[in-house]
Amino acid sequence: MSSPTPSPILISDVQQTVARELRRIAPIIDELGARFNEAGHQLALVGGPVRDAMLGRLQTDLDFTTSAHPDVTEKLLKGWADAIWDMGRDFGTIGCRKGEWQVEITTYRSEAYDPDSRKPEVAYGDSLVGDLGRRDFTVNSMALTVPDRGFEDPFGGIVDLASRVLRTPGRPEDSFSDDPLRMMRAARFAAQLGFDVAPEVVAAMTEMAGRIEIISAERVRDELVKLICAPFPRRGLLLLVETGLASYVLPELPALALERDEHHRHKDVYEHTLIVLEQSIDQEQRLGGPDFISRFAALMHDVGKPKTRRFESGGVVTFHHHDVVGAKITAKRMRALRFSNDEIDAVSKLVELHLRFHGYGEGEWTDSAVRRYVRDAGDQLERLHILTRADCTTRNQRKANRLRAAYDDLEARIERLSEEEELASIRPDLDGTQIMEILGIPPGREVGEAYRFLLELRMDEGPKSAEAAREALLEWWAARP
Ligand code: ATP
Ligand code: MG
């Protein structure tokens, strides 16, 4: 089971890692640095890529900060970059591509956050150190000037990186009041990097959690998605819940910590959920890598439980229809977070179907039930397999083995049926034109009814010859009132 712990960071390793990463990006930073310097401007690699070069996780995104204003930056990039685009001139950022490298160059900032507005108000700054002081965390406030390769670290980011801790360059209260999104970013980086958050930062997050409400849903969502797709999502989620931020951005999660009844008659749904998330991550190779839909479905699969919990006589606790109720709650939350309709449909479908398999028992499903399972899951079938398997957190090994074997059996049956029939795209044996021809009717409501009858028949009895389908259709037609 994953609940991975990050490995320690040694400064001697950092040195070697940085040297290796610098050799890799040397052509880019040397050329670009020289271009800016010749024009009388300063340029520095900054933030994410400096941090990631030290952690050996540098990808192909290179962020720079510069004394040049955006129009000058754009001129300096012309003739060098393969493509140039405006990332939002108001924010002072110009983007470009050079070979495999995605480059973003932002003018020095000294930005203040207007508490009445949802957008940071940007003012250009005039120094590198000033720009670094405006950044979110010390590990993101390091820079490498180019082409001379001077290391700027005015807030001790390298020490915090070695001790794996997120700290703000100034007082966390001031930083979060300038931009409350940084509280979400703390949780996101904790999840991505496996770092701890400094106690004074956690305290400020706890104190100021409610301020997150001035941030747009889209910006909150983007941080949440990154957190959930990170290598250590449990860390980020615990932090959101512990600080109270989750009560604003994902209240369904803390609600899962149902106060336990005195006899401990049911499991802690919150802890169960985190384990289901980790067990679904363990199966992600089936999907080719980190998958937000699958992870979020795991996180939301039981959110219908608090609302449906009933204490029956004899000390029994039930959660009837928590799948259907949970799917609705999930869709509502995802709409509030401005997810796309496709994402909302996918996750809420998985939540709704996560219990369906439990009627399977010892494999007594009919072919018809198997077909319906496949049809209802549609393009979420692979994720439904993962979620259903992950949803078994019993410590009773015999029970766990029995469930796994039953699901193996179901998947084998699906595969067998799929070979015989094209399960994924079940259609009736006759199409609309044939129906009209056989029944001698014009287009209209009755054709639709006949089509649905044939589809149900196809589900129940499997494929038929055209002749057999024709007979069944006529029989149904004759028996209609
Ligand atoms: P990644 O790109 O891997 O998600 P990153 O560290 O590059 O991580 P970005 O969101 O791309 O993060 O931001 C780039 C840099 O800009 C950060 O490293 C940080 O220095 C700074 N930054 C971004 N957003 C903020 C913010 N809201 N407040 C302060 N500084 C920020
Ligand atoms: Mg970045």
65-90 burial, b at 16+ Cβ within 10 Å, e below that, comes to: bbbbebebbbebbeeebeebeeeeee
Smallest CA separation from ligand 1 atom 15, residue:
47
Token representation of residue 415: 């595969």
Q: Is residue 414 within 8 Å of 437, Cβ to Cβ?
A: no
User: Is residue 265 scored above 70 in pLDDT?
Assistant: no
Smallest CA separation from ligand 1 atom 1, residue:
48
User: Is residue 112 scored above 60 in pLDDT?
Assistant: no
Token representation of residue 240: 């959101």
Smallest CA separation from ligand 1 atom 17, residue:
47
Q: Is residue 118 within 8 Å of 214, Cβ to Cβ?
A: yes
pLDDT value at residue 258: 72
Binding site membership of 322 for ligand 1 (Cβ less than 6 Å): no
Binding site membership of 104 for ligand 1 (Cβ less than 6 Å): no
Q: What is the number of the ligand closest to the CA of 141?
A: 1
CATH 1.10.3210 in the chain, residues? 266-425
Binding site membership of 160 for ligand 1 (Cβ less than 6 Å): no
Q: Is residue 382 within 8 Å of 286, Cβ to Cβ?
A: yes
358: confidence class by pLDDT, cuts 50, 70, 90: confident
Binding site membership of 219 for ligand 1 (Cβ less than 6 Å): no
Report in angstroms the alpha-carbon separations of 87 from 93, 95, 96, 106, 235. Answer: 5, 6, 9, 9, 31
| Percent of the chain predicted with pLDDT > 70 | 94
Question: 3-class DSSP state for residue 162?
Answer: helix
Q: Give the highest mean pLDDT range of 7-11, 74-78, 119-123, 305-309.
A: 74-78
Q: Which CATH class is domain 164-250?
A: mainly alpha
**Topology (CATH) of 1-163:** Beta Polymerase; domain 2 (3.30.460)
Q: How far is CA 343 from the centre of its chain?
A: 10
pLDDT value at residue 429: 87
Binding site membership of 63 for ligand 1 (Cβ less than 6 Å): yes
Binding site membership of 179 for ligand 1 (Cβ less than 6 Å): yes
Q: Is residue 439 within 8 Å of 450, Cβ to Cβ?
A: yes
Tell whether domain 266-425 is in CATH 1.10.357.
no
pLDDT in tens, 41-83: 999 999 999 999 999 999 999 999 999 999 999 999 999 999 9
DSSP letter string, 59-115: -SEEEEEESS-HHHHHHHHTTTSSEEEES-GGGTEEEEEETTEEEEEEE-B--EE-T
Binding site membership of 302 for ligand 1 (Cβ less than 6 Å): no
| Percent of the chain predicted with pLDDT > 90 | 75
CATH 1.10.110.30 in the chain, residues? 164-250
State in Å: Cα 148 to ligand 2 middle: 23
CATH 3.30.460.10 in the chain, residues? 1-163
**Least confident residue range of 47-51, 112-116, 142-146, 190-194:** 112-116
State in Å: Cα 217 to ligand 1 middle: 18
Q: What is the number of the ligand closest to the CA of 50?
A: 1
User: Is residue 233 scored above 70 in pLDDT?
Assistant: yes
Residues 6+ apart with CB under 8 A from 38: none
6: confidence class by pLDDT, cuts 50, 70, 90: confident
Smallest CA separation from ligand 1 atom 28, residue:
136
Report in angstroms the alpha-carbon separations of 166 from 97, 249, 464. Answer: 31, 21, 64
Binding site membership of 181 for ligand 1 (Cβ less than 6 Å): yes
- For the chain, helix (H) and strand (E) counts, in that order, are 22, 13
This prediction's pTM: 0.86
